[in-house]
Structure 1
Amino acid sequence: MGLIGRKPKGKCPPGTAKKALRAAFPHTLPIFAGFWFLGLTYGIYMNACGFSFWYPMLMSLTIFAGSMEFVAVNLLMGAFDPLQAFAMTLMINARHLFYGLSMLDKYKGTGLKKPYLIFGMCDESFSINYTAKIPAGVDKGWFMFFVTLLNHIYWFSGSTLGGIFGSLLQFNTEGLEFVMTAMFVVIFLEQWLKEKNHTAALLGLGLSLLFLIAFGADGFILPAMLAILGVLTLLRRPIERGGDAA
């Protein structure tokens, strides 16, 4: 009699995934607009460099790192140098190390969804999953899973269509790679407007500028990220108190 009415272990109540999908989708709509434009641009850019649509399609599916995928075009066109490719990838995507540290607690208890959440954690998915207020009654793991999956689908479909349509469009593609920089600027501005306390943002800008001057454009990213992590860790409580007071 004591077993009657118990929920089987490891199984979610019916409709859990659909409920999480409905909650996650509105959060990803701004990313959809940005990713589709960026993905189309990336696919067209690869086509203009002489690559078939298979390249942006498979790279967007398996790499899912927009800025690195743009850089990979030049790596594919140059001499084979795996060490350079590894170092470049580490430098460009070093920020994901810090994203991962920030998400350790949030990814607890997500079960089999965790490997995909780790693989698919881009800047935009991290921003949503870290800051979004998940509605009551919505499973956290499924919510983060669908945010990640939807953003992945947006990038994959945009890149694939860009690669297919690239051969049909004839125009000057110089400067298309700048759209990634523009996307990061928009994300930063959105976070700036959302937060009342801008101490962390100003520290990030100041330290990045300092290390840019010290190490140059090719070598400042990793030391700047380490410095930002260290300073924000030391000042975490004062910053949080300042945010609460604001």
Structure 2
Amino acid sequence: MAKDTSKTLRAALTATAPVFFGYIFVGMAFGLLLQKAGYNALWAFGCSLTVYAGSMQFVLVELLTSWVGLAQTAVVTLAVQARHAFYGLSLIDKFKGLGKKKPYLIFALTDETYSLLCSVKTPEGCDRGKFYLLISALNQSYWIVGGVLGATIGELVPFNSTGIDFAMTALFIVIFVEQWLTAKSHIPALVGIVCAAVCLLLFGTGGFLPPALLLTVAVLVAGRRTIERKIGPPAEEPAGDASDGKEAPGSCR
């Protein structure tokens, strides 16, 4: 069993290597901004452990310094994180049969983790549930380490934080480029770009994201058969372990 876990861990480390380099530095950017707002490394650790919401954590810094009410915080959070509802819908089949692992997988579903879970294939001979769990846990650990490092550095070294919040946007761009280079078809990406551009013109920078996501999903659903004929159906993953902890037939032995 230890050998099987070691094999799955190595595979997860390899899969999450790009996220590691991104999250360490983006997490440091968050930690620096949080420290500049008057909160120390312990706050960075707590926020990254319990909130863990990527771009929303950057918004959280502003919310903490503005002392806004709970209702406004809830509305802002819903607006910023609304895209995760679409993420969850597209992963219903992938998360089937994962039992007790499912709540954490849902909690830890950031943009980058979602990207990996959609694109990476479970290595032959490894349990799908363990593989997904390790990917999610490793990504969160990278973010936590980055946040704590950033806040610690901010306390020890004077640092000009102007423009540092662009780090999250830069990470999104890197992931988009990587997916563009490896994707069988660029139709979904082009649909997303066009829908975002149209909604940006119609609704402005402050409110374009939710309608852009809705429009993108609607177009992709309408053209699903055409896209599938072009790139072929997705490969089936082996079933994960059930809630009682039993492994699937294709899991590590």
User: Structure 2: which amino acid aligns with 1:182?
Assistant: A
Which position in structure 2 is the counterpart of 1:45? 33
> Matched residues in 2 for 1:226 and 1:100: separation?
14
Which position in structure 2 is the counterpart of 1:237? 225
Which position in structure 2 is the counterpart of 1:54? 42
RMSD of equivalent CA atoms: 1.5
Matches within 5 A, 1:4-43: 15-43=3-31
> Matched residues in 1 for 2:67 and 2:127: separation?
48
> Matched residues in 1 for 2:38 and 2:107: separation?
28
Which residue of 66, 77, 82 corresponds with 1:94? 82
The structure having more radius of gyration, on CA atoms, is 1
Give the CA deviation at 1:196.
3.3
Which position in structure 1 is the counterpart of 2:237? none
Contact 1:23 1:138 in 2 (8 A): no
Which position in structure 1 is the counterpart of 2:169? 181
Give the CA deviation at 1:243.
2.2
SS in 2 for 1:167: helix
> Matched residues in 2 for 1:203 and 1:17: separation?
39
Give the CA deviation at 1:44.
1.2
Give the CA deviation at 1:223.
1.1
> Matched residues in 2 for 1:171 and 1:116: separation?
35
Note the residue ranges of structure 2 that are not aligned, 5 or more in a row: 233-253
User: Structure 1: which amino acid aligns with 2:189?
Assistant: A
Contact 1:60 1:155 in 2 (8 A): yes
Give the CA deviation at 1:37.
0.6
Give the CA deviation at 1:128.
1.1
> Matched residues in 2 for 1:141 and 1:156: separation?
23
Q: Deviations over 1:155-208 (max 9, x none)?
A: 011101211221111121101111111111111111111113111111101011
Say yes or no: does 1:108 pair with 2:104.
no
> Matched residues in 2 for 1:169 and 1:17: separation?
40
Say yes or no: does 1:142 pair with 2:123.
no
Give the CA deviation at 1:14.
5.9
Note the residue ranges of structure 1 that are not aligned, 5 or more in a row: 1-12
SS in 1 for 2:156: coil
Which position in structure 2 is the counterpart of 1:201? 189
> Matched residues in 2 for 1:146 and 1:211: separation?
36
Which position in structure 2 is the counterpart of 1:85? 73
> Matched residues in 2 for 1:34 and 1:168: separation?
23
> Matched residues in 2 for 1:201 and 1:73: separation?
31
User: Structure 2: which amino acid aligns with 1:212?
Assistant: L
